[in-house]
Amino acid sequence: MKPSFFHKQLLVLLFTALSFLAQAQEKADRPKNKWYAPDYLVLQHAGLIGFLSAGVGYDFGKHDRTNMEAMYGFTPGYDIKHTNHTFTLRTYYQSNPKPLFKDVKISFIRAGAGLSLTVGQQFESFFPERYPEGYYIWPTAARILPFVGTALSKEFTSKNRIHYTEFYTELGTSDVMLVDKYRNSGISMGDIVNLSFGLRYML
């Protein structure tokens, strides 16, 4: 089987992620871990990347407002053979947090996109030979996942270092859902939007 367009794009994304990590050496807004060590842990429910997903993240850019995350998620089936496993790389921008009440702050804007690859019985990583050329635009295992959301955070200090925990919620969709909506006016926005919740913990 020949490499698909998706696999070529995935390699480009991986090289881009490595360049982002290299920039982490220049971060100076707060005390940092080693440049190669994750800045935070993330746990998420739903969002088209698994019933439950977890991973690590890096922040960079001005005031660490830009983020890159690598996540693994799973959607359980009725047995282990039919469980779907999803691997996701995503990047997003989050606005500067503003005071909300007491020590809690809110980031009104959280927007970005992810690229996911799902391994499961009904997903294809390559274009199946049994389908005619052009039947699928891209492999069924690959998805582009735009999303927007908001986040609440709380900071605390320990051993002269600032940590924070964050609760976020997102509304997301996928490239396939957007195409379906464009082709079929009978599909409502509620049919193509997915609500997710997550937690971030700064290391």
Predicted confidence (pLDDT) per residue in 110-147, tens digit: 999 999 998 866 665 555 666 666 556 666 688 999 99
**pLDDT above 80 (res 154):** yes
Q: What is the pLDDT of residue 28?
A: 43
The pLDDT of residue 24 is above 50: no
**39-70 tens-digit pLDDT:** 999 999 999 999 999 999 999 877 778 999 99
Q: Is the pLDDT of residue 12 over 80?
A: no
Instruction: Find residue 88's DSSP bridge partners.
Output: 71, 116
Structural domains of the chain in order of their starting residue, each with its CATH number: 5-202 (2.40.160)
Q: Is the pLDDT of residue 5 over 80?
A: no
On the question of pLDDT at 31 being above 70, the answer is no
pTM, two decimals, is 0.77
pLDDT over 70, % of the chain? 71
pLDDT, average across residues 185-202:
94
The C-alpha angle with vertex 75 and arms to 121 and 194, in degrees rounded to 5, equals 115
- Confidence at residue 33, expressed as pLDDT on a 0 to 100 scale: 67
Q: What pLDDT sits at residue 180?
A: 85
Res. 160 pLDDT band, cuts 50 70 90: confident
Give the position of tokens 């080693």.
34
Signed CA dihedral, 147, 150, 154, 155: sign only: positive
pLDDT confidence of residue 23: 47
Q: What is the pLDDT of residue 62?
A: 74
What average pLDDT does the structure give for the chain? 81
Across the range 26-35, mean pLDDT stands at 56
d(C-alpha 203, C-alpha 187), whole Å: 42
Residues sharing a CB contact under 8 Å with residue 174, sequence separation 6 or more, in sequence order = 48, 143, 144, 145, 192
Reported as a pLDDT band with limits 50, 70 and 90, residue 155 is confident
- If pLDDT is split at 50, 70 and 90, which confidence band does 13 have? low
